[in-house]
Structure 1
Amino acid sequence: MITKEVYKKNVKSIGFLVMVLSPLIVIAFIAGLTYYFSQEEQAAPDVPIAVISEEEGIDQLFSNEQWSFEVSDNIDTEEAAEEALLDESIGGYITAEVVEGTVQAEFVHTNELSDQSSLIQEALTNYQSMLRADQLDLAPEEVMALSEPAMLDQRFVNVDEGTVTEEAFSDRMVQQGGAYFVSIAIMIFIMTYAGIIAEEVANEKGTRIMEIILSSASATNHFFGKLTGVMLVLLTQIVIYAVVGFGAYIYFRDSEMVQEVIGGIDLAAVFQELMGYTIIFFIVGVLMYVVLAAFFGSLATKMEDVNKAVTPIVFMALTGFYVGMFAFTAPDNLFVSVFSYIPLFTPFVMPFRIAADTVSTLGVWLSIAGTVVFAVLISGISLAFYRSNVLIYSDTNLLGTIRRSWNIMQSNRKAIRNRA
């Protein structure tokens, strides 16, 4: 009954609707802007430029190549090009000449043509190579042979327990993407649901309705009922995102923009990676922090104290998140290695070490086992304190409330022992 009421109240609330729709609206807005600007770029007319050179080959070079600008044919002097640039009839001009086999050129342009400078330089370099080839009496095939790039194959390997295994580059990218995903997702869900579970507990305690509830249900049932209800709300949000994401993919998968984004990504590998270690760290990490939030929420005696009560959780999560970001750049750092085995920070840090292959399979499972054991342990400790402080109404600080809860818990144990 407690789980059902918590779930129904949160899912039917305006806050839940806003919480679910906000990321979808932001993603849709960004995707819409990206699509709009890409269409604008494609529909925009080519920017005209002028090419001023006495070399016929250079004129042909810019008239024959497929450029994203038009070459103006009616401008043949630098003075005319400057006047055209001033009245904005052209976006820039190129002056070029050949001195002793070397192409000397200048590209005067507005910022609109900045991305074309490297392409223009490459084209002029190729033209210069052809000129020098003519001077050396080289055939075109010989020029192509001289300019042919060296072949370099890249092989990504893992070194694990004295064994070298080959790994595809896409797998490495998928692992790094999964690490980013789990860190950001854990941080978002912790910030959201830690406050929800803390408010759930503090709200009933602040209205003094807790005495009535505990007359019909035990503190244990109340604790896990609230916890289960909030976790079901979280699961509902994840399912909604999964359904919307899958539907959007089915609808837009054949569009040109989507193909450009996911064309080189192995979606099966991405899904497999997310369903591996990543999903384990995500579930255990969120559950661990939600349990802690329920514990700290029970220490608050009124709604106004909830934010102060969950502040330690926020700082712990932020610490883990930033260490995880540092782990991406230095995954083999000793500081990172130590933090990856501290349960409160493992869900943030260990995925980056897995992506960088700086931890063995045994180390990964040890960290998972340690995190699970810690989550179970913290659940038991939180439940024990919850039973003691759920009916405590005190205006003392957080440490004072914890100390008082500990004393009450010890007194209850002595009473039970004496009764036995």
Structure 2
Amino acid sequence: MNKFWVITKEVYKKNIKSFGFLAMVLSPLVLVAFIAGLTYYFSQEEQVGPDTSIAVISEDDTINEMFKNQEWDFQVDEEITTEAEAEEALLDESIAGYLIADVENTIVDGQLIYTDDFSEQSGLIQESLSNYQMMLRADQLDLAPEEVAALSEPVSLDEKYVDIEEGTLTEEDFSDQMIQQGGAYFVSIAIMVFIMTYAGIIAEEVANEKGTRIMEIILSSASATNHFFGKLTGVMMVLLTQIGIYVIIGFGAYMYFKDADIVQSVLSEIDLGAILQELLSYTLIFFIVGVLMYVVLAAFFGSLATKMEDVNKAVTPIVFMALIGFYVGIFAFNSPDNTFVEVFSYIPLFTPFVMPFRIAADTVSTLGVWLSITGTFVFAILISFVSLAFYRSNVLIYSDTNLLGTIKRSWSIMQSNRKARKNRG
């Protein structure tokens, strides 16, 4: 056991101190910081004030006052008073558009000419003119302000999202479903990223020692079992360290920026506690099991490589399997009750990618979820011991044959060793 921890510690220290680990940790943080910076910049741009100008041409004083005195997301050029001047200013691009509005018999007739820069404001202008027309008609009908307010009061619409289960309607929280779908996307992308990263690390760890013939010296003082699980544990500790760094930085950033206006506006629209609860339940389980399972496979395939140049070819099958699971998971988002999706959600190699989307869509029972989790755990344990058995046989094999040929040769050696142990017994 002491040799196991020595191997684990060496793997952990070597990767933690490497420049690759620093780049691996910082790259997502730089991306998040860049996106957050852009979001903050554009939000500040909106708060600085409108710089788009239009001209309002009307003989009705009330309309002129309404556009001059109210707060808009644009400015009104008061110097332009005729249609000809407005058209010339629009051609010069000194204004983004102009409004011509007339009132006749309580009917407001408006014409808005604008460029693409002003397209988002047309709805607000139409709404304001409609409200003014309603006020004119209310005055004509001699309606009190309270009666006008009653006429314009919006309809109260109580929305309920329901799901059909065994012939009965069950009320669902739509925001909760959105959180679950977001969690499913998060776990699929995270698993894919960590598999691509750490499968390469564990494969290189094994192939590097094997390619430099150091493996023969190591295995003369430590068993293949200690070496195999020591490498796995060391790499998984590096992974947990990276996740821990993100958790600490995320918590620190939240505590520092939690009082900012933009953060408060986001938090007012989402339930942060519900998101954390969702991510820390099934999503976290599938993430851990999924990454662990593929890292074990990467250690096995890495042992098949004779030199470092063969690592990429050795881990190619793992990458393809992960890509299949990822794309089936994306397909499951649109068709969670598809038979194809249902079958793939119970295949252990694809379960971490597919099952979270079925959970989000509520197309699987709690029993089905735990059956998939149990099956994935059992498969991960089984593949660990199968990989260990092959690892013991092929870790000292130096062959220039293809991947399949190396596996066949490892199988033959494993069978021969088993027969030899039986004869000695």
Fold equivalence (TM over 0.5): yes
| Residue matched to 1:385 | 390
User: What pairs with 1:18-417 in structure 2 (closer than 5 Å)?
Assistant: 18-98=23-103, 102-133=107-138, 140-159=145-164, 165-417=170-422
The one-letter code matched in structure 1 to 2:361 is A
Partners of 1:161 and 1:360 within 8 A in 2: no
Once the two structures are overlaid, the 10-residue window that deviates more, 216-225 or 87-96, is: 87-96
Deviations 1:183-239 (A, max 9, x none): 111111001000000000111111111111111111111100000000000000000
Query: The residue matched to 2:221 in structure 1 has which SS?
Result: coil
Unaligned 5+ segments in structure 2 are 1-5
Query: The residue matched to 2:71 in structure 1 has which SS?
Result: coil
Q: CA deviation at 1:100?
A: 6.6
Q: CA deviation at 1:37?
A: 2.7
The one-letter code matched in structure 1 to 2:379 is F
Q: CA deviation at 1:140?
A: 4.7
Deviations 1:148-187 (A, max 9, x none): 3322212234555677554433322221221111111111
The one-letter code matched in structure 1 to 2:246 is Y
Partners of 2:49 and 2:73 within 8 A in 1: no
Unaligned 5+ segments in structure 1 are none
Deviations 1:305-351 (A, max 9, x none): 00011111111111111111222222222222121111111111111
Query: The residue matched to 1:215 in structure 2 has which SS?
Result: helix
| Residue matched to 2:3 | none
The one-letter code matched in structure 2 to 1:47 is T
The number of residues matched between the two structures is 420
Q: CA RMSD in A?
A: 2.0
Distance 1:390 1:311 in 2: 19
Distance 1:289 1:199 in 2: 14
Once the two structures are overlaid, the 10-residue window that deviates more, 135-144 or 110-119, is: 135-144
The TM-score, its normalising length taken from structure 2, stands at 0.93
Q: CA deviation at 1:65?
A: 3.0
Query: The residue matched to 2:158 in structure 1 has which SS?
Result: coil
Partners of 2:50 and 2:75 within 8 A in 1: no
The TM-score, its normalising length taken from structure 1, stands at 0.94
Distance 2:202 2:279 in 1: 26
Once the two structures are overlaid, the 10-residue window that deviates more, 200-209 or 166-175, is: 166-175
Percent identity between matched residues is 76
Structure 1 312/81 Cα, relative in aligned 2: closer, same or farther at 3 Å?
same
Q: CA deviation at 1:93?
A: 0.8
Q: CA deviation at 1:89?
A: 3.4
